[in-house]
């Protein structure tokens, strides 16, 4: 069978997954992984705006120490909805379900994911979960915090815990379907020659993520279900007054929710690896170590959950063990960080928008990660736990880390997804605005936390005001920063320049087909003959568009020369 991808159509007006059919029905019943990715992109963006609106309310309330903008309950509901929406409905699906869905089959040289219908089902399940949660919001909201701690959530809270619990339960299955699809696809649908150690690092990261999803998500599903059931029966499975034990709930909750933080960061790390390679035109330094560190994070990530319970009353013995293991899980992250840095050494570095995001990611992730170590240290955690220090820690990783990674990936693959180039100028501006706004929002929270300001506080002592004002001001800048990409990315759909197949000169397979790709991605299954991220021009003469006659194609045989700056790629 022919093993060569034929030259992709050169004009973006050719047939592709976007214009193959245009009815609403063709979108709602699609099984094309690329279309499902777009559906997900739209849904999670809506959820992000909702979560962001809640964040806006939080920040406005905290502008003054005894603000009465929100009532106590309204405030509590705001941060709960903010946490629930951002974690379960935005960040967890963000990179896997949008970028992963779109890119993973293409990077494998496959026509689609292994189970396209399950993939569509996963989106519908997500929507049902989201609707449950939003209905609960209209119902009066929920005020337990995203952690649903018992016995408050089972016996005391008078809010819509059950609908939100069911929403989280349901959305869990959408992650499970995505993870299942990814694992099966990576195992069985790789292009000929694409051996495990030729896989792009994004694939490795998604593989590790999927494992965590498959092993962790069912536990949170059953746990929130238990909370919901107990709210009906009031037997007190987690209520000490009735013989239950709240620490059991915490164990079960964090058994998932700690690994979940790696569900959020691992895909980001994969994106960063891709971008560092492409924009420095070098293989990722220490590829096998970076690949394996993803798996190491996935596995070690399951061994540390009780670090969220250091002062909750767990045994001192367990606290020591879990603290120790938490230190260990930092090592693979360290390995990645160092390898990324080394990748730039003697590279050919181009500071395009995705790269600016990726570089900011490193700086911010370092701060977020190291403050994680402050919390892993038993001595300091006893002081810092439940304060704004934690809020700052996880926003540094989740907003500064994961969202920067998501934006980096979105800007990196946008030309592939839409066939259009966005405005590089506005891209750079917005990345800088977001960077400044972000640090201004969350850095003061480290200080507030160290100073003792507890989290989930509706009012606070006056001495913290200056820090909170800074933080609110930063959040305003951040909001503007987030609106910018929405504008210029959407604008690029209308008047963006055609992107060409491979505007960045990348080597992975998704760049070997046209932009936007045809419905089955490749006209012929590609064959891979070389390690990924190989930027040398092979001795032969492969044409600039990456399609030599009869030559096998794939990572490594990609051209090193197409790197005309993105803005001028339209002639290709």
Partner 1 sequence: MATHSPETTHGHEGGTAHHVTSSRLLIMTGGALLVLTVLTVAASFIDLGALNDVVALVIAITKALLIIFIFMGLRWSTQIPRLLSLVGLFMLLLLIIATLSELLTRVWVPLPGH
Partner 2 sequence: MAQQVARPTVPAVPRAAAPIEAEHHVEHLGHHYESLDQQHHANMVGMWVFLMTEILLFGGLFCAYFYYFAAYHEVWMEATRLQNIVAGTINTAVLIISSMFVALAIWAVQTNRIRMAQILLALTIVCGLIFLVIKGYEYYSHFTEGLVPGAMFQWEGPAEMKRPAQLFFWLYWVMTGLHAAHMVIGISIIGFILYKTMKRTYSPAYFTPVELGGLYWHLIDIVWVFLFPMLYLMGGHYGQ
Partner 3 sequence: MSAESFWSYLFAKSTTGRQVDILFWTLILVTLAFSIPIVGTLTYFVFKYRRKSPDEVPPQIHGSNLLEITWTGIPLIMALGFFFFSATTYLHMVVPPANAMDIWVIGKQWMWKTQQPDGQWEINELHVPVNTPVRLTMTSQDVIHAFYIPAFRTQWDVLPGRYSTMWFQATEVGTYHLYCSVYCGTEHSEMVGWVTVMDPGDYEKWLAGKAATASAAGQPVQTPAQQGEALFQSNGCATCHVQAGGGIGPSLKGVAGSQVQLEDGSTVTADDTYLRESILQPAAKVVKGYPNVMPSFQGRVTEEQIIALLAYIKSLK
Q: Which does 180 bind (CB under 5 to 8 A by kind): partner 1, partner 2, Cu ion, none?
A: partner 2
Which residues inside 266-305 make contact with partner 3, applying CB under 8 A? 280-283, 285-289
**Nearest approach, Cβ of residue 228 and ligand HEA (Å):** 18
The interface region with partner 2, picked from 79-87, 149-157, 215-223, 501-509 by CB under 8 A, is: 215-223
Nearest to partner 2 of 454, 538 (CB atom): 538
Q: Binding mask 10-49 vs partner 1 (x if CB under 8 A, - otherwise)?
A: ----------------------------------------
CA nearest neighbour of 278 among 348, 336, 225: 348
233 binds partner 2 (CB under 8 A): yes
Binding residue (CB under 8 A) for partner 3 from 295, 524, 564, 572: 564
Q: Of 30, 101, 147, 515, which one interacts with ligand HEA (CB under 6 A)?
A: 147
Q: Indicate the helix (H) or strand (E) that contains 498.
A: strand 497-498
Cβ neighbours of 476 (radius 10 Å): 15
Distance CA 396, CA 66 (A): 27
Closest approach of partner 1 to the CB of residue 250, in Å: 10
Applying CB under 8 A, which of residues 454, 484, 488, 552 lies at the interface with partner 3?
454
Residues 428-447 that bind ligand HEA (CB under 6 A): 441
User: Under the criterion CB under 8 A, does residue 195 sit at the interface with partner 1?
Assistant: yes
Residue span binding partner 2 (CB under 8 A) among the ranges 172-180, 395-403, 462-470, 474-482: 172-180
Quote the least distance from Cβ 37 to partner 3, whole Å: 30
User: Pick from partner 2, partner 3, ligand HEA, none: which does 398 bind, CB < 5 to 8 A by kind?
Assistant: ligand HEA
Q: Pick out residues in 456-515 that bind partner 3 (CB under 8 A).
A: 456-463
Angle at which helices 353-376 and 404-418 pack, to 10 degrees?
A: 150
Shortest reach from residue 525's CB to partner 3, in Å: 27
Answer yes or no: are the C-beta atoms of 167 and 133 closer than 8 Å: yes
Q: Compute the distance between CA of residue 507 and CA of residue 200 in angstroms, rounded to an integer.
A: 9
Phi and psi angles of residue 497, each rounded to the nearest 5 degrees, phi first: -75, 150
Taking CB under 8 A as the criterion, the residue among 156, 196, 197, 425 binding partner 3 is 156
**Which window, 93-101, 188-196, 254-262, 471-479, contacts Cu ion (CB under 5 A)?**
254-262
**Axis crossing angle, helix 353-376 with helix 246-280, rounded to the nearest 10:** 150
Say how far apart CA 491 and CA 488 lie, in whole Å: 5
356: nearest Cα among 293, 275, 452, 455: 275
Tell me the C-alpha to C-alpha distance, in Å, between residue 95 and each of 100, 145, 405, 556.
6, 24, 8, 25
Closest to partner 1 by CB, 194 or 237: 194
Element housing 465 (H / E): helix 465-495
Q: Residues 263, 322: contact at Cβ < 8 Å?
A: no
- Binding mask of the shown chain, residues 333 to 372, with x at each position contacting Cu ion by CB under 5 A: ----------------------------------------
The residue among 277 and 306 lying less far from partner 1, judged by its C-beta, is 306
* The pair of three-digit structure tokens given for residue 515, joined into one six-digit string: 């932009």
Query: Which range in 279-287, 424-432, 475-483, 511-519 contacts ligand HEA by CB under 6 A?
Result: 475-483
Please, what is the minimum distance in Å from the beta carbon of residue 301 to Cu ion?
A: 8
**By CB under 8 A, residue 56 contacts partner 2:** no
CB 16 within 8 A of CB 519: yes
Find tokens 């405030």 and name the residue. Answer: 75
Cα angle 387-230-310, degrees, rounded to a multiple of 5: 30
Judge contact between 31 and 115, C-beta under 8 A: no
Q: In angstroms, how far is the first alpha carbon of the chain from the final one?
A: 29
Q: How many CB atoms lie within 10 A of CB 157?
A: 20
Q: Which of residues 341-370 bind partner 1 (CB under 8 A)?
A: none
Q: Which of 12, 107, 154, 185 binds partner 2 (CB under 8 A)?
A: 185
Indicate the DSSP class of residue 387: B
């Amino acid at each position: 069978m022919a093993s060569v991808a034929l030259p992709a159509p050169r004009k973006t007006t050719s047939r592709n997954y976007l214009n193959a059919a245009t009815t609403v029905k063709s979108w709602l019943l699609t099984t094309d992984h690329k279309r499902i990715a777009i559906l997900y992109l739209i849904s999670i963006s809506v959820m992000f705006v909702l979560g962001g609106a809640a964040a806006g309310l939080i920040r406005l309330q905290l502008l003054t120490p005894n603000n009465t903008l929100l009532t106590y309950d309204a405030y509590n509901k705001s941060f709960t909805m903010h946490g629930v929406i951002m974690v379960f409905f935005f960040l967890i699906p963000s990179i896997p379900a949008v970028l992963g869905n779109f890119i993973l089959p293409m990077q494998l040289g496959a026509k689609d994911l292994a189970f396209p219908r399950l993939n569509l089902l996963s989106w519908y399940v997500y929507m049902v979960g989201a609707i449950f949660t939003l209905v609960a919001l209209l119902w009066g909201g929920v005020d337990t915090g995203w952690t649903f701690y018992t016995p408050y959530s089972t016996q005391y809270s008078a809010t819509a815990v059950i609908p939100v619990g069911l929403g989280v339960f349901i959305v869990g299955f959408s992650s499970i379907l995505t993870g299942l699809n990814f694992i099966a696809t990576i195992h069985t649908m790789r292009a000929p020659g694409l051996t495990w150690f030729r896989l792009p690092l994004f694939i490795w990261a998604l593989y590790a993520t999927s494992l965590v999803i498959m092993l962790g998500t069912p536990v949170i599903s059953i746990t929130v279900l238990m909370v919901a059931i107990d709210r009906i029966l009031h037997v007190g499975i987690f209520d000490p007054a009735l013989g239950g034990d709240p620490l059991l709930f915490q164990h079960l909750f964090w058994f998932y929710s700690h690994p979940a933080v790696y569900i959020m960061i691992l895909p980001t790390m994969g994106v960063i690896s891709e971008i560092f390679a492409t924009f420095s035109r070098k293989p990722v330094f220490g590829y096998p170590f970076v690949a394996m560190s993803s798996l190491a994070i996935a596995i070690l990530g399951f061994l540390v959950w009780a670090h969220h319970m250091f002062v909750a009353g767990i045994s001192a013995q367990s606290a020591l063990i879990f603290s120790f293991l938490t230190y260990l899980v930092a090592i693979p992250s360290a390995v990645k960080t160092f390898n990324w840095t080394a990748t730039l050494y003697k590279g050919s570095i181009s500071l395009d928008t995705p790269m600016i995001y990726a570089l900011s990611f490193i700086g911010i992730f370092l701060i977020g990660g190291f403050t994680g170590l402050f919390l892993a240290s038993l001595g300091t955690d006893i002081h810092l736990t439940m304060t704004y220090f934690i809020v700052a820690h996880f926003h540094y990783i989740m907003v500064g880390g994961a969202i920067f990674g998501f934006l980096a990936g979105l800007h990196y693959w946008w030309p592939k997804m839409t066939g259009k180039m966005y405005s590089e100028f506005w891209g750079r501006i917005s990345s800088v605005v977001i960077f400044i706004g972000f640090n201004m929002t969350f850095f003061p929270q480290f200080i507030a936390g160290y100073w003792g300001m507890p989290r989930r506080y509706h009012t606070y002592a006056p001495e913290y005001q200056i820090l909170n004002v800074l933080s609110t001001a930063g959040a305003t800048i951040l909001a503007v920063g987030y609106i910018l990409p929405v504008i210029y990315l959407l604008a690029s759909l209308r008047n963006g320049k055609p992107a060409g197949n491979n505007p960045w000169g990348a080597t992975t397979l998704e760049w070997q087909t046209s932009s936007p790709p045809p419905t089955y991605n490749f006209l012929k299954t590609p064959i891979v003959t070389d390690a990924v991220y190989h930027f040398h021009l092979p001795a032969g003469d492969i044409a600039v568009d990456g399609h030599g006659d009869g030559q096998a194609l794939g990572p490594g045989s990609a051209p090193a020369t197409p790197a005309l700056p993105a803005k001028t790629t339209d002639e290709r």
